[in-house]
Amino acid sequence: MSVSPKRFRIFPVAALLLAGVLLGLTISSVRIGEDTMAQLRKLEEAFLLINKQYVEPVDAATLAEEAITSMLDELDPHSVYVSAEDAQDMQERFQGSFGGIGIWFEISRNDEDLSDDTVRVMSVIGDGPSERAGLMAGDRIIRIDDSTAVGLSEDEVTSKLKGEIGTQVEVTIQRHGTRAPLEFTLTRDAIPLYTVDASYMVDTVTGYLRVSRFSQETYNEFIEHVRALKDEGMERLVLDLRSNTGGYMSEAIKIVDEMVPGRKTVVYTRGRRPETTSTYRTRRTGILEKEPVIVLVNAYSASASEIVAGALQDHDRALIVGQRTFGKGLVQHQFSLPDQSILQMTVARYYTPSGRLIQTPYKDGDQEDYYEEKFSSLEQATYRPGEYSDSIPDSLRFKTAHGRDVFGGGGILPDYIVKPDTTPALRAVLGRGFARSFARQWFRQNEQPVRERWRDREAEFASAFDVSEELWAAFVAHATDTDDSPTEASEEADSTRGVTADALHTHRETLEVYLRGRIAQELFGYKAWYGVYKEIDPELRAALGLWGLAEGLASWQESPPPETDRPANRR
């Protein structure tokens, strides 16, 4: 299997605010030497000449942004320029709340007439303005204030619904079973952006908790959910960090602090300036210091996720299961520019307690080769792990606190690797979204009777909803009739071969669970998906058979390691 960088790339923006602080630094606070000043004057002169002398008028703002972007292209792959507009949106995402009406929505597409696209409420956020006013999942928003909502893009809808806390917005909705449209006047409020996507009891003693990113509120969410799981009888935890691309480092450190006893190193940073060189340690008695823990990771787990996985692995505190992580170990600070745009620049590298640099190797200014080599090594680590570990030189082999071998060179290599399914039919149906698109389409066509039957019965749905022969036949027709002509690369062609009725029938049991989960998501919201998908989740199923190893690691916390905890514990 080869992996396309365009489809796989984790953009630097996804790891926004790694250091967990908004520095608010400006150019005026940076001291520069004479040579640097001379180059700055040269750049200024060129900029002014272009603006005054070029044959046609130029947009100064665009020219400046392109110049900044070009300079950053000569640095590491993760230093980026963020426009003022994008900076505001991203900060909201990581601050943990924004002013809005409290709904999750999607655009219901009409492929034959894009002007007929409508806004469908997928779920309402508890105790938010919409829930208090009476909006319901399944409602279709047809007007926002005095303007139609039909045919708008997701960004346009978001822009109209968001606003300052305390301001009002009028929405008109169409509801199944109600002839006349319903009008609501909603007062915008602080809407939490939850980062714990799901938590539930897998069995009577095993808790599951998924963290999608690390925002300002992630630690508080984590503690709240862990306490709730303990109240339900949890004695061991699966912490799911798959596809978590990072966020606030401070939140990741606090979560590790809840699981690692004593005063031990979580992560340390090394940079060019003294203020960027620090060591972060555990401080408190945690809520999960004795329970066995398994951490799920994959190739999309990056940055702050790798801090958690690396620290828990180095201290022999948790068993890491899944695929090798992305390998983003660069500390970035935000430097504010006069127009509120941001220069998000790498100022240091971070290392796990044993001394491993998590960042994969790169050459400044060579992003294409960086991602090509990264994806090649990810593929090798996933599908040929023995070959991958044998290729790692002694200089990148490290020891955990109790003497286990761990590896540097980029990312966190799990203790137990789960290879993704490479069956062509499953890869095509799941990877290209055939099952997801069918579930959405089927639900829209059957929404009213399905809601009437299953409303307030979420707990029963996973086991009681039946994928009938009629539903299965419709899915097979959808999957086999969907345009499977490849749009890029021969691997896409390979992935679509075998999508036949017979091939799908071979995997019917798996695909039925997948369909049931996606329909549950449409009906009850995103969290319902995880409660169903657990039946076929390959990494989770593998983890549930590895508790003996995880319990062994947990028992080691009772005895001191053979050597004192210190950075660079290299073999």
How many domains, in total, are found in the chain?
3
The catalytically annotated residue of 301, 303, 305, 377 is: 303
The catalytically annotated residue of 257, 314, 537, 565 is: 314
* Amino acid letter, 162: K
CATH number, domain with residue 409:
3.90.226.10
Q: Please indicate, yes or no, if residue 24 is contained in any of the structural domains.
A: no
Residues 443 and 520 in one domain: yes
Residues 387 and 437 in one domain: no
The closest alpha carbon to 530, from 467, 461, 475, 472, belongs to 461
- What are the residue ranges in the chain where pLDDT is below 50? 1-29, 111-115, 483, 485-496, 563-571
* 405 is an active site residue: no
E strand residue ranges, 392-533:
397-399, 405-407, 416-417
Note the pLDDT of residue 110: 55
Question: End of a domain among 420, 450, 480?
Answer: 420
E strand residue ranges, 159-235:
168-174, 182-187, 189-192, 196-201, 206-211
Q: Please indicate, yes or no, if residue 268 is contained in any of the structural domains.
A: yes
Q: In this structure, what DSSP letter does residue 361 have?
A: P
Residues 363 and 229 in one domain: yes
Q: Is residue 187 within 8 Å of residue 166, measured between CB atoms?
A: yes
**What span, in angstroms and rounded, lies between the C-alpha atoms of 224 and 234?**
14
Note the pLDDT of residue 314: 98
Question: End of a domain among 172, 192, 212?
Answer: 192
Q: Is residue 350 within 8 Å of residue 331, measured between CB atoms?
A: yes
Q: Please indicate, yes or no, if residue 288 is contained in any of the structural domains.
A: yes
Note the pLDDT of residue 26: 44
Residues 116 and 147 in one domain: yes
Note the pLDDT of residue 97: 67
- What is the span of the domain harbouring residue 158? 97-192
Residues 215 and 290 in one domain: yes
pLDDT digits (tens, 9 = 90+) for 91-120: 776 766 678 999 988 887 654 444 457 898
Residues 399 and 441 in one domain: no
Q: Is residue 336 within 8 Å of residue 342, measured between CB atoms?
A: yes
Question: End of a domain among 356, 388, 420?
Answer: 420
| DSSP symbols for 141-173 | EEEETTEE-TT--HHHHHHHH---TT-EEEEEE
Q: Please indicate, yes or no, if residue 48 is contained in any of the structural domains.
A: no
Residues 445 and 367 in one domain: no
The catalytically annotated residue of 254, 264, 328, 399 is: 328
> With left for phi above 0 and alpha for psi between -120 and 50, is residue 170 left, alpha or beta?
beta
Q: Is the pTM of this model over 0.95?
A: no
Note the pLDDT of residue 31: 61
Q: Please indicate, yes or no, if residue 461 is contained in any of the structural domains.
A: yes
Note the pLDDT of residue 362: 84
For tokens 């309402």, name the residue.
Answer: 124
Residue 70 burial (CB < 10 Å; 0-12/13-18/19+)? Answer: exposed
**What span, in angstroms and rounded, lies between the C-alpha atoms of 518 and 558?**
43
Q: Is residue 26 within 8 Å of residue 104, measured between CB atoms?
A: no
pLDDT digits (tens, 9 = 90+) for 8-56: 334 333 333 333 333 334 444 456 678 889 999 999 999 999 999 999 9
Residues 298 and 206 in one domain: yes
* 328 is an active site residue: yes
Note the pLDDT of residue 561: 65
Q: Please indicate, yes or no, if residue 26 is contained in any of the structural domains.
A: no
Q: Please indicate, yes or no, if residue 452 is contained in any of the structural domains.
A: yes
Note the pLDDT of residue 214: 94
Q: Could you give the C-alpha distances from 35 to 32, 42, 69, 111, 365, in angstroms and in order?
A: 8, 11, 22, 58, 22
Residues 375 and 439 in one domain: no
Residues 366 and 266 in one domain: yes
Residues 283 and 214 in one domain: yes
CATH number, domain with residue 123:
2.30.42.10
* 89 is an active site residue: no
Residues 133 and 154 in one domain: yes
Q: Please indicate, yes or no, if residue 483 is contained in any of the structural domains.
A: yes
Q: Is residue 481 within 8 Å of residue 501, measured between CB atoms?
A: no
